[in-house]
Chain A
Amino acid sequence: MLENKKIELSPVELKKEDFVSDQMVKWCPGCGAHAILAAVSNVFPKIGYRKENFTMVSGIGCSSRFPYYVDTFGFHGIHGRASAIASGVKIANPGLSVWIATGDGDSMAIGGNHFIHILRRNIDVNIMLFNNEIYGLTKGQFSPTTPIGAVTKSSPHGTIEHPFVVAGLVMGAQGTFFARVPDNNVKLMTEVMYEAAKHDGTSVVEILQNCIIFADKTHGDVVSREYRDDRQLILRHGEPMIFGKNKDKGIILTGNHLEVATIGENGIREKDILVHDQFDKDPGIHRMLGRMTPPDFPVAMGVIRSAPYATYDDLTEQQIEMARKTSKIQTVNDLLRSGNTWEI
């Protein structure tokens, strides 16, 4: 259970089944979103808040049907606006655990503005970003994370746009929490979501999600059984950044750059490998980790950054509390009678 001064805990132990809604799940068979739903129903009982205190908010897209499938309070918004809606929910009632389900189109394109501003403000909500690098619900157009050159329904000759790197965008926007997980590792996803809930502030969990219809295996070179050990670095706070089938590869810092080294080669020993500090306020190493891509690097998974900063919602409550203690105006009648008035 997660102790949180603002959000009330459940008096009874909750189970996975407590969060299953009565709605039929309408995602395609084989869609990565099913795994995300599984992870959420794993993690909500573990977090342990009263079930009434969970609120799911979404925008538009395949990802955004999520609230209908979880038996909590839910709000299915309009395209791109989940972050703005959720900001209002959380500021209005800090006693709620607010979760956003969104996609790469919803958050990176039409909702890009709200996405960067919720991060900058550090409002305490959890964003699950389903990144399948394609527009699914509108049937296969390229998105802001589609790799350059990809042939899609709206780029028959290949895209000519540079994609966003979600981690870079999050940290550029002063994001305080960023994690990444593949959709085929529910265990890691559950752990990471727990960490996201624990973090005070906006947390972004990027899920490398497969769209079996329009962008099948788009993450295949990273997440498939064949490659995953050599191309994924699963970060754990306080542990050296070691990966590979034989656990013999690691990340070292050479000058201003990260590099992959093999332990035992060129005099590299385990103690030369960087140790992960997810709580470091300086985003320097976090940014470099977030940008790593094959073939030169593995992709960093797990919690890359979880830096402690004050949240917008806490500061809001503090200002109100202070004003209530110090202001002469305690009622609207006081306000109407303040300043320059006269009797006739």
Chain B
Amino acid sequence: MTATKSKPVELEDVVVKFVGDSGDGMQLTGTLFSDAAALAGNDLATFPDFPAEIRAPHNTVAGVSGFQVHLGQRKIYTSGDMCDVLVAMNPASLKANLKWVNQGGTIVVDSSAFEQKAVEKAGYLSNPLEDGTLSGYNVIKVPIAELTREKLAKLEIDKRLAERTKNMFVLGLMFYIFQRDPQKTLDFIEEKFKAKTMVAEANQEAIKAGYDYGESLNGQMPVFKMGPAPMEKGLYRNITGNIATAWGLLAAAERSGRPLFLGSYPITPATEILMELTRHKSLGAKVFQAEDEIAGICSAIGASFAGSMAVTTTSGPGLSLKSEAMGLAVITELPLVIVNVQRAGPSTGMPTKSEQSDLMQALYGRNGECPMIVMAASSAANCFYFAYEAAKLSMEHMTPVILLTDGYLGFGSELFKIPDVNELPPIKPPLADPNDKNFKPYRRDEKTLVRKWAIPGTEGLRHRIGGLEKTNIDGNVSTDPLNHQLMVNIREEKVNRVADYIPLQEIHGEPEGDLLVVGWGGTEGALLSTVKRMQDEEKKISLAHFNYIKPLPKNTREIFSRFKKIIVCELNMGQFVNYLRISLPEYRYYQYNKVQGLPFHIQELMDIFNKHLEEK
């Protein structure tokens, strides 16, 4: 029997979401599906969506785990808003995710999971597969669990293993629908379960069974086609923002010749950076899991004094606890990278949900006049470069730096073109030479105002620094009024002069027009997708997306002056816009803000921008 295929539907891009119970293996399924897409040359971005609870009750909405991937034969900037294809392994996951499926979208369900009890447990009054709930969608009902059991019966494996491989059946079916060659995945499974041949075989058989099932339906199964995206040649991998941050820091340590020290305390969503760095002792990384957030930063300050490239990583509540010590790093003028993977606040807030609401705290949340460099990464992959840059600026300018990322960047992944570390910009810490007769703790470079880093153990450099105000140059304890004024001015000016060492602000689109969209940090993907789409519609709209916040790039004023209207979009109640109102008060700023623990959606942004373009 030859299978007749449906006519393939060609897709420019598609958002696929795998959802199921916590134990259904949706993260692995999504990852393998994404890897196969990447190998086929698609660009992509992913985002996991898992419950805060480790093991919520079986078959409940609270226990739904999901994995979303956006892939395309064009450049992909976000993991997508609404999904085009939803794969739901049980009624609860359908219930939790139906609102995120585009009208007319495709829903693949495991119909064998929709028995009365599970339907009720999900909170449905009747079976949604039968009562018209899904009438606006293209529903593909497949008794996945049942078919998996049947197909694996010949292997004589226990029922639980057969049950656990149903996610691989779905993966096989999705490979058929997307016309992917499953061979690489089969090889991967062979390798992964080398020691457990039975498990490997069960998984491989399930994938093949899913693929064959799609083929056997003689054209009743839809088939999608997607070509490779135009991508720069090179070696690629998939990477999450947290891993990219950790690797950027390791790269900076290697290039600066200063060993990496991380002092950190576990906190969602920043913990992966701590866990990742602790794996790389072969690169000399010293990771100190401290007793609390304060000890995390204080140990890092001690390590910085002792000559290490010091880092502390945290999220909002942890940043609050570190405030006093951040002031200590400012007054001692020691390098320190503080990574804040932002989450929804205040207080404990929503630990697994993303927000950009720590900007004011990063800029001002300390006692005294306490300036430091503030910067933000804006994509999962560029966390690597901004972590590197944060460490470089911190050491070369002898100041703490706050690097803001967020849960969306930290957990999300995208393709990363692997650089040669030796081609990254060099890092040259201003180390004091042994027996330097001119050494004084606060003697400064005239141009940058940067003091020397005099490392304990070095001959002829014994000195004392600390949290008390010191005289400029000599570094003696002082309450002299004019000296304090001088030191406050110098610390501010030193940070402002970093503007001479950072790139100018780039602009996406024409350098002038009707509407300038301004954003910063993790919203770049959504803002850029929206602005590009509107540019295609001939709208005079451009995007200035900021990575450097304090100091601002030197051409910021000039950029703002060329647009009729400026709108600042943030996932907070207006923190960057108010900073701009203080920094560049001559412009009128409109603002669009959202704090729902969700990223911006393209449609909502388009509506807002169109409204602003119409009201001239």
- Give me the interface of A with B, judged by CB distance under 8 Å: 21, 23, 50-53, 55-58, 60, 67-68, 71-78, 81, 83-93, 95-96, 113-114, 117, 316, 319-320, 322-324, 326-327, 329-333, 335-337, 339-344
Contacts and interface: CB of A to CB of B under 8 A. Distances in A.
B21 to A, nearest CB: 27
B290 interface: yes
B314 to A, nearest CB: 15
B282 A92 contact: no
B418 A91 contact: no
A342 B282 contact: no
Given A55-B456, A89-B456, A91-B286, A340 B302 contact: no
Interface in B441-488: 456-468, 476-477
A226 to B, nearest CB: 39
B282 A76 contact: no
B137 to A, nearest CB: 34
The listed residue with most A CB atoms (<10 A of its CB), out of B35, B308, B458, is: B308
B178 interface: no
B233 interface: yes
Contacts of A72: 462
Interface stretch (B140-148, B292-300, B522-530): B292-300
Contacts of B38: 342
A326 B303 CA distance: 26
B295 A333 contact: no
A320 B285 CA distance: 8
Contact of B254 (A52, A53, A81, A331): A331
B476 A324 contact: no
Contacts of A89: 302-303, 305-306, 456
B419 A336 contact: yes
A343 B417 CA distance: 9
Interface stretch (B110-118, B234-242, B369-377, B605-613): B234-242
Given A87-B295, A332-B250, A342 B306 contact: no
A107 B41 CA distance: 59
B261 A91 contact: yes
Contact of B234 (A67, A324, A339, A344): A344
Contacts of B422: 333
B318 interface: no
B41 A91 contact: no
Contact of B462 (A71, A90, A113, A339): A71
A78 B328 contact: yes
A52 B457 contact: yes
B418 A96 contact: no
Contacts of B282: 320, 323-324, 326-327, 329-330
A87 B296 CA distance: 10
A75 B282 CA distance: 30
B437 to A, nearest CB: 16
Query: Which of A75, A329, A342: most chain B Cβ within 10 A?
Result: A75
Give the residue among A53, A88, A331 with the most B Cβ atoms within 10 A. Answer: A88
Interface in B35-52: 35, 38-39, 41
B295 A76 contact: no
Contacts of B419: 336
Nearest to B301: A85
B181 to A, nearest CB: 14
Given A320-B284, A336-B418, A81 B294 contact: yes
Contacts of A344: 41, 231-236
B295 A81 contact: yes
Contacts of B300: 88
A178 B306 CA distance: 26
B236 A342 contact: yes
A51 B421 CA distance: 38
Contacts of A95: 457
A114 to B, nearest CB: 5
A336 B281 contact: no
Q: Chain B, interface size: which category? A: 35 or more
B464 A68 contact: yes
B324 interface: yes
Contact of A74 (B39, B236, B308, B463): B463
Interface centre among A58, A114, A342 (most CB of B within 10 A): A342
A333 B306 contact: no
Interface in B394-408: none
Contact of A86 (B247, B290, B302): B302
Contact of B421 (A73, A81, A332): A332
A117 B303 contact: no
A343 B286 contact: no
A69 B420 CA distance: 48
A46 B266 CA distance: 42
Contacts of B463: 73-74
Contacts of A331: 254, 283, 421
B444 to A, nearest CB: 20
B251 interface: yes
Nearest to A55: B456
A27 to B, nearest CB: 14
B543 interface: no
A327 B459 CA distance: 35
Given A96-B457, A114-B295, A336-B421, A67 B303 contact: no
Given A91-B288, A92-B259, A114-B291, A76 B456 contact: no
B286 to A, nearest CB: 6
B169 to A, nearest CB: 23
The 5 closest A-B pairs by CB, nearest first: A76-B466, A88-B302, A327-B282, A88-B299, A84-B298
Q: Which of B236, B247, B298, B301 has the most CB of A within 10 A?
A: B298
B280 interface: yes
Contacts of A319: 281
Given A89-B302, A92-B302, A341-B235, A73 B456 contact: yes
B35 A329 contact: no
A117 B247 contact: no
A23 B235 CA distance: 59
Nearest to B278: A319
A92 B459 contact: no
B263 interface: yes
Contacts of A23: 476-477
Contacts of B324: 78
Contacts of B284: 320, 324
A163 to B, nearest CB: 23
A342 B41 CA distance: 10
Contact of B467 (A50, A78, A333, A337): A78
Contact of B418 (A67, A74, A341): A341
Given A81-B298, A88-B261, A113-B292, A52 B251 contact: no
Nearest to A74: B464
A23 B308 CA distance: 28
B50 to A, nearest CB: 21
B56 interface: no
A95 B284 CA distance: 16
A68 to B, nearest CB: 5
Interface in B258-294: 259, 261, 263, 280-284, 286, 288, 290-292, 294
A44 B39 CA distance: 64
Contacts of A53: 456-457
A326 to B, nearest CB: 8
B302 A323 contact: no
